[in-house]
Amino acid sequence: MLHVSEVTRHFSTGAGQVKAVDGVSFDVETGTFCAIVGRSGSGKSTLLALLGALDSPTSGSIHLDGVDVAGLSARKQVIYRRDRIGFVFQNYHLVSNLSAIGNVMLPMEFAGASRSQRREHAVSLLDRVGLHGDKQDRLPGKLSGGEQQRVSIARALANQPALILADEPTGNLDSRNSKRIVSLLRQLVEEGTTVIVVTHDRGLAAKTDLTLSMKDGQIVHRQAKV
């Protein structure tokens, strides 16, 4: 369960203070597919960064399964991100000189497994996201956008995260590849992972269980689908 209470994130700029996130409260039950939508500049990416402990709130609290995320030290934030969160980005953020398998193995480095165990796990994750055979040995530049996004989802799953945070995961994909990614994310939700996506893609938002609409740093509408 993710519990967000009265969270703000203010930035000081030359022009004054920007309230990027301005008093946001919501809960997301474990195993929910949640979309955060809203116009450009409404605060979606800032909120996602706070949920993933990539940034700390100015005030308020964020609890994931009882852990006070906002209160973690910098060192514990690193561990929290590695062990509890899987990140998926619009531009995939894969390491260009590592194969698909190498990219998926990267987050496992600290898990104490041997290299062959890590490789075996990476192969099974890539199989799970539908990237098979010789494609697993290719560099990201030799894969299509949809395939690269599947590698990034496999990488996000490497340490069995409780929460997957995806920023515009279908933003660079055509409709066929988008549908594949959405159904993959839905499958993860069915298996009990909580998935939160920031998206402008109406097709993706329509497939989620809960939509939070942001405006000027606030959640102005909450729509739960049964």
Ligand X SMILES: Nc1ncnc2c1ncn2[C@@H]1O[C@H](COP(=O)(O)OP(=O)(O)OP(=O)(O)O)[C@@H](O)[C@H]1O
Site of interaction with ligand X (CB under 6 A): 11, 13, 18, 20, 38, 40-46
For residue 142, the minimal CB distance to ligand X (Å) is 29
Q: Is the separation of the CB atoms in 185 and 109 below 8 Å? A: no
Q: Name the minimum Å distance from CB 103 to ligand X.
A: 24
Nearer Cβ to ligand X, position 34 or 122?
34
- Report the residue number, 20 or 88, with the smaller CB distance to ligand X: 20
Shortest gap between Cβ of 178 and ligand X (angstroms)? 17
User: CB of 40: closest distance to ligand X in angstroms?
Assistant: 3
Taking the least distance from each CB to ligand X, the nearer of 70 and 101 is: 70
| 102 or 171: CB nearest ligand X | 171
Nearest approach, Cβ of residue 68 and ligand X (Å): 22
CB-wise, 82 or 215, nearer to ligand X?
215
